[in-house]
Structure 1
Amino acid sequence: MNTLLDEYYRYDLHNPGFIERKQTISEEHTLVCGIAQSGKSSLIKHYLLGHKKATYLYLDCRDVRLNIDELNRTLEPFCRENKIAILALDNYREEIALFELGQILLTSEIAFETSFQTLRLDLLDYEEFLAFENKYDDTALNHFFQLGGFPAMHRIPSEERLLYLQKILTRALEPIEFSILMQASKMVTQKVSAFNLYERLKGERKISKDKLYLHLQSLYDRGYLKSLDKFNHPSAVKKLYLCDIAIKQALTLQKHFGRVFENLVFSELDKHGVECYYDEGIDFYLPSKAQIVLASPFANEHALFKKVEALEAFIVSNRVREVIAVTMNLESTLSHPISRIEMIPFAQWALADQEETT
């Protein structure tokens, strides 16, 4: 095992074309968690490359040559002998024993119990996507719809992107989890229970309810799937969303731009940690902002005014101050007696200061 550790210690790390993310690693012990291809390895390598090579050891725990028992016996003595100050265990497995050291960095899909600082690395939001695009013209939003938030998609030829994403998901997920994700991709933005998914999947493969529920929860825990509660009804059926719209394009031929757009709006709210709920006729209610957000890519003023009229009881009872319709490119302010109504293009809404606009 010392031979393998020495091999890693002598490696020259490469992290070409790294683009700064909103999340950064400090000098504390840190667990970086996020789904496959969210950029965890690149973030850690970028941090390590800011230090002298002899002071750190980077180890990818997926290496099939690793023997955990041997590693647990040799890793600490190796670090002491070589005066290593920073140990980075990429794709960390919890059976690997940790020990006292200057700084330890871990990556994992799951945020497990630890005393380390936990850094949740989401996929790119729209602002980060623009940094990867290196352009801010009218084509950027359309490109965002095509690529989604996976950082690596910018380096993949266009004809290979969907197959690349399928390969990544197949490798990262168990077969039953991949089947669940495929089915979920057909049901985005809908009210979906675990039983609904079970009913859909049992016709395709033999599966027990318990097994499905277990793997479904794992997809939620790791962040591949997201859910949204109904306001003031936590036991009601939740709405289902994907962590990224590119997954829907990769796993289904189904086209429904309205649902994709709503998922995109949800993802921006989710990545900014905005507390929100759905209600009947309401895509997103943000109680801390006294605001309703509607995903309305092709809204017009007349249709929007009629929609708000249908929501007057909710607006009055919850003292909603503002209704924002996020559109593809339409911008307008409507006069309404009980609430401010704005139509805001997605690119403008997503780039605005979240504290002020959401």
Structure 2
Amino acid sequence: MEILLQELYKTDIHLDKFHFRKVYLEDSSYQINGISQSGKSKLAKNYLLGLKKNSYLYIDCSDIRIDIKELNNTLARFCNLNKIDTLVLDNYKKEIKIVNVSQLIICCETHLDIDYLNTVQLYPLDYEEFLAYEHKYDSNALNHFFQLGGFPSMHKVHSDERTIYIQKTLKYALDEMEFDILVLCAKMMAQKLSPYSIYERLKQTRKVSKDKLYKSYENLYAKNYIHLLEKNNHPKATKKIYLCDISLKSALSLDKHFGRLFENMVYLELLKSGIDCFYDDGIDFYIPDQDEVILCKPFADERTLFKKMEAIEAFIFSYGIKKVTAITMNREGSVSHPFSKVEMLPFDIWAIGD
């Protein structure tokens, strides 16, 4: 193991052009949490490239040459001997012992209960981050976002290989049960779906342990491959389910429903902005802190939005809603309403404007 560590220590880190994210690292210790292909490794490597070469050690813990028992017996001594200030443990496994260094950076999918590590939650690209990968910002950018989604690596994958690339990535990152659940979630994107409903559906085609399924479901949620949205004032009601990235819909399912795909995209922008929201009957997203309702209406016009306002007027009055924003594909405008400010905003303007 000493020989491998020496090899890793001497190896130069290579990184293709790095596009800066909305999160960044300083001289503290961190855990970078995020799903596979969200950009954890690149974020850590880009930080290391700003340090002196002999001051850091980068270890990819998924390297099959690593014997964890031997690593645990060797790593602390190696870091001390070579005066390692910054240690990066990428694809970290809980069996690996934490060693005492000035700066520790751990990359893994799920959150670790280590008090002195600052947490950086890394999601796939939001729309504004995605634009940094585009050669120019024009009317085609949003359509390109729909095609590629938020995985940074997709910009280097040919169009005819993208579906299989995503499938292989997910199969490598998830166990069989987790993958099967995710496939079903892709079909039910932006709809109410309970773990029991998933169990009832899957048991029709295969032998399923309810306990194992529930555990796999919780794992998918903990690792942020799926997101759950609670109903307003009804925490025990069935939650709506959203995928970690819109590209998973077409990669895992033949079902076509642009409205749900659009809603999932809007939800992810709210999530990445740290905005707490809920759904309700006839309401896509209710944001209590802002007294605002978000409606996902990709092809709405003033007439259809006015009819929608009539349908949700009781909710608007009851909760003192000051603003209703209908997110569209390209339509911009406003509707007169006695209780609230009502406007239509194209997705790209809304997503970048905040």
TM surpasses 0.5: yes
Distance in 2, matches of 1:289 and 1:264, equals 20
Q: For the Cα contact (< 8 Å) 2:150–2:247, is it kept in 1?
A: yes
Shift of 1:60: 0.4
Counterpart AA for 2:10: R
Per the alignment, residue 252 of structure 2 pairs with 251
Q: CA deviation at 1:190?
A: 0.8
Provide, for residues 204-240 of structure 1, a one-character-per-residue CA deviation record: whole Å limited to 9, x for no partner.
Answer: 2111111111000100000000010000000001001
Q: Which runs of structure 2 are paired with 1:183-198 in the superposition (5 Å)?
A: 183-198=184-199
Structure 2 letter corresponding to 1:212: L
Aligned with 1:285: secondary structure? strand
Mapped partners of 2:304, 2:330: distance in 1? 16
Offset, 1:201: 0.7
Aligned partners of 1:205, 1:59: CA distance in 2, in Å? Answer: 39
Q: Which amino acid in 2 is paired with 1:83?
A: K
Answer with 306-315 or 279-288: which moved more: 306-315
TM-aligned CA deviation for residue 200 of structure 1: 1.0
Residue deviations 1:91-128 (CA, integer Å, cap 9, x gap) = 11111111221111100000121121111011100000
Post-superposition shift, 1:134?
3.3
In the aligned structure 2, how far is the partner of 1:109 from the partner of 1:164? Answer: 19
Match of 1:232 in 2: 233
Question: For each residue in 1:254-308, what CA deviation from the matched residue of structure 2 results, as whole angstroms up to 9, or x when unmatched?
Answer: 1110010000001100111101000000000001010000000001111111111
Partners of 2:13 and 2:295 lie apart in 1 by 45
Distance (Å, rounded) in 1 between the aligned partners of 2:219 and 2:150: 21
State the secondary structure of the residue aligned to 1:19: coil
Distance in 1, matches of 2:100 and 2:211, equals 40
Partner of 2:267: 266
**What is the rounded CA distance, in whole Å, between the counterparts of 2:347 and 2:291 in structure 1?**
20
Give the whole-Å Cα distance in 2 for the aligned partners of 1:135 and 1:225.
31
Q: Residues of 1 paired with 2:294 and 2:38: CA distance?
A: 27
Q: How many residues align?
A: 353
Query: Which residue matches 2:140?
Result: 139
Amino acid at match of 1:158: S
- CA drift of 1:310 comes to 1.2
User: What residue in structure 1 maps to residue 5 of structure 2?
Assistant: 5
C-alpha deviations, 1:314-342, integer Å up to 9, x for none?
A: 11110000110000000001111111110
SS state at 2:192 partner: coil
Which residue does the alignment assign to 2:150?
149
In 1, distance between residues paired with 2:72 and 2:260?
48
Alignment-mate amino acid for residue 40 of structure 2: K
Distance in 2, Cα, partners of 1:102 & 1:336 = 58
Report the aligned-residue RMSD. Answer: 0.7
Aligned partner of residue 133 in structure 2, secondary structure: helix
Structure 1 window deviating more from structure 2 (110-119 vs 138-147): it is 110-119
CA shift for structure 1 position 81: 1.0
Deviation of 1:17 after TM superposition, in Å, equals 1.2
Q: Could you tell me whether the CA contact under 8 Å between 2:305 and 2:335 is conserved in 1?
A: no
Aligned match of 1:83: 83
Following the alignment from structure 2 to structure 1, what is the Cα–Cα distance between the partners of residues 201 and 331? 38
The percentage of aligned residue pairs carrying the same residue is 53
Query: Secondary structure, in 3 states, of the residue corresponding to 1:258?
Result: helix
Mean Cα deviation higher: 10-19 or 35-44: 10-19
Q: Which residue pairs with 1:55 in the alignment?
A: 55
Q: Which position in structure 2 is the counterpart of 1:307? A: 308
Where in structure 1 are there 5+ consecutive unaligned residues? 354-358
- TM-superposed CA distance for 1:52, in Å, is 1.1
Instruction: Provide the C-alpha distance between the structure 2 equivalents of 1:142 and 1:316, rounded to a whole number of angstroms.
Output: 36
> How does the TM-score come out when normalised to structure 1?
0.98
For 1:273 and 1:227, the matched residues in 2 are separated by 14
Partner of 1:356: none
